[in-house]
Structure 1
Amino acid sequence: MREAEAQVQNVSKIGRLGELFLQKGLLTPEQIDQVAQLQKEKKLRFGDAALALGYLTQAQLDQALGEQFGYSTKSLINGSAAPSLKFFYFPFSKEAEEIRRLRSELLLKFSAQEKIKLAMVSAASGDGKSYMAASLAIALSQVGKRTLLIDADLRGGSLHEYFSLGKPDGLSSVLAGRIGLSDAFIQLMPNLHLLPAGPQPPNPLEILRAPRIRELLESCSDQFDAFVIDTHAASKASDAQMVAHQTGSVLLLARTDHTYIDELRQTKADMLAAGVEVLGTIYNQHEDDGASGLAPFSWMFRLVSRMFRRKN
């Protein structure tokens, strides 16, 4: 008993991070003592000392820091986050920093507006658009924005798969009048709700026609501060243009060495023709690392081109 109490006292001297690793079984009391010794000798942070000794990986450290500072949690109110959602599990990774940078630019852009409303649009499928929509919605919710993530891809929406929610009713069911809007919301986090796509209808474009999406957003405007809307690939149907027209703002997403520049230009032209403000273009790169999740690779977003239009 005395030995156990002594271990707890020693850990408390290291801090909550050391205690967290001990509870997770990632470090032994002996290893924590060695980390503490190196930390004192080299004047390092606890995590840096553990990395230097090879006791932890950067991924393990990032996840623990996220839990310690409240950025991340392994559990959702409903469902569970897919392992591929790096922003959720590794909030201190380089990818997460880029998404937070994008979030900051959006908050500045919409600072004079009452609500944040934007659609995520890409020319082709497989560009990481849905992944980015989910990550950005989580990021907005973490700064206190009551966020609604909407899957408006009625031809093959997959946002529910990122949260292991089965095949729930959703947007298509609401627009068809089969269920009420509030019944379709799925709460994921304290400030984050999802409106999934729902069953695939035979007439997606007709169901999404104006002003149905606009009226839907207005009907729940008092409940949310931000709306992030995923869409179908713009080069395959006019759904994205229809949704964006009712949203007013879009972020274009392109995948390096994958998206054809002519398709991207045409998508932008189509958005402008619909009276939509194109906030910017996100070019993303990916690393084929065989990670588990919804795709055989993990996305690494790099905002190498941010073309936000600012009014002088």
Structure 2
Amino acid sequence: MLIVKDNPKSPISESYRTLRTNIQFSSFDDNMSTILVTSSTPSEGKSTVSSNLALAMAETNKKVLLIDCDLRRPSIHKKFGLSNEKGLSNLLIGQHSFNEIAQEITSNLCVLTSGTIPPNPSEMLSSKKMELFLKEAEKNFDFIILDTPPVVSVTDAQALSTIVDGVLLVVSSGHAQIPEVHKAIELLQYVKANIIGIVANKVKSFRRGYKYYQYYYYGEGDGKNKKHRSKSSK
């Protein structure tokens, strides 16, 4: 659900704006323009987070590119009601240029769908062509958000995490298993990914009728995680 677009004044939309702000302030010295979003397992809401975060960032008059890097089970095109006949995979093999396949959602937001499902997603995403494409895209966009497959399932997110500025790990309360979340963090840390935070969604509070969106991010100095919590109605 594109809550930021469909219901921009809702508490949940405000939660995404809070996430946007936390990301912008997560690093004072380093540029945080390329952000990878993943999860430990499927169905935790990573694509929903990616899409709404992109919409929230575009609200600030920043140029935003959302890329569906899930070349196995893509879903971004479904959320925005777009064609997926051609996309990232077709660009990487030279069939189409970026301008031919990028789809404009608003004046500030472009979406690059996954395109044709390739037989070798991991090799394609870890290729030099993918790295060069991202570097070129950074010249034209303030923020680039990459929606990737679950990190425990396949190596795609690991490979991409080495060429982006930061990684967000989406964890679904009541769905994700703690060992799998720990495994996801270990896999990302193994390749020295910059994990800038953990987005915990579907988190219920003790107060009836409410749930909480939580964003955990890594603090400096004491090495402890800090936590931001904002309330949203069910």
Whether TM exceeds 0.5 here: the answer is yes
Q: Which deviations, in whole Å up to 9, do the C-alpha atoms of 1:166-217 show, x marking residues without a partner?
A: 3231110011111112222111101100011001001101111143332111
Aligned pairs for 1:109-258 (under 5 A) are: 109-258=26-175
Partner residue of 1:307 out of 217, 226, 231: 217
**Judging changes above 3 Å, is the alpha-carbon distance between structure 1 residues 240 and 184 closer, same or farther for their aligned structure 2 residues?**
same
**Judging changes above 3 Å, is the alpha-carbon distance between structure 1 residues 143 and 110 closer, same or farther for their aligned structure 2 residues?**
farther
Which of the pair is proportionally richer in strand?
2
Counterparts of 2:76 and 2:220, CA distance in 1? 31
Counterparts of 2:39 and 2:219, CA distance in 1? 19
Worse-superposed segment, 235-244 or 125-134: 235-244
1:261 counterpart = 2:172: no
Deviation of residue 309 (structure 1)?
Answer: 3.3
Q: Is the 8 A contact 1:119 1:247 kept in 2?
A: yes
Deviation of residue 286 (structure 1)?
Answer: 7.5
3-state SS in 2 of match to 1:307: strand
Partner in structure 2 of residue 272 of structure 1: 189
Structure 2: segments with no counterpart, 5+ residues: 205-210, 223-234
Counterparts of 2:90 and 2:181, CA distance in 1? 31
Deviation of residue 156 (structure 1)?
Answer: 1.1
Q: Is the 8 A contact 2:37 2:168 kept in 1?
A: yes
Please tell me the root mean square deviation across aligned C-alpha atoms, in Å. 1.9
Structure 1: segments with no counterpart, 5+ residues: 1-83, 288-299
Q: Which deviations, in whole Å up to 9, do the C-alpha atoms of 1:225-280 show, x marking residues without a partner?
A: 00110001112110111111111410000100100111111111111111111111
Q: Is the 8 A contact 1:250 1:277 kept in 2?
A: yes
1:85 counterpart = 2:2: yes
Q: TM-score, normalised to structure 1's length?
A: 0.66
**Judging changes above 3 Å, is the alpha-carbon distance between structure 1 residues 238 and 180 closer, same or farther for their aligned structure 2 residues?**
same
Q: TM-score, normalised to structure 2's length?
A: 0.86
Q: Is the 8 A contact 1:210 1:246 kept in 2?
A: no
3-state SS in 1 of match to 2:71: coil
Counterparts of 1:118 and 1:178, CA distance in 2? 26
Identity of aligned residues (%): 26
**Judging changes above 3 Å, is the alpha-carbon distance between structure 1 residues 237 and 301 closer, same or farther for their aligned structure 2 residues?**
farther
Deviation of residue 94 (structure 1)?
Answer: 1.4
- Give the number of aligned pairs: 216
Q: Which deviations, in whole Å up to 9, do the C-alpha atoms of 1:12-61 show, x marking residues without a partner?
A: xxxxxxxxxxxxxxxxxxxxxxxxxxxxxxxxxxxxxxxxxxxxxxxxxx
Deviation of residue 85 (structure 1)?
Answer: 1.4
3-state SS in 2 of match to 1:119: strand
Deviation of residue 91 (structure 1)?
Answer: 1.3
3-state SS in 2 of match to 1:302: strand
Counterparts of 2:39 and 2:186, CA distance in 1? 13
3-state SS in 2 of match to 1:165: coil
3-state SS in 2 of match to 1:120: strand
Counterparts of 2:203 and 2:183, CA distance in 1? 24
Amino acid at match of 1:249: G
Aligned pairs for 1:48-127 (under 5 A) are: 84-127=1-44
Amino acid at match of 1:107: Q
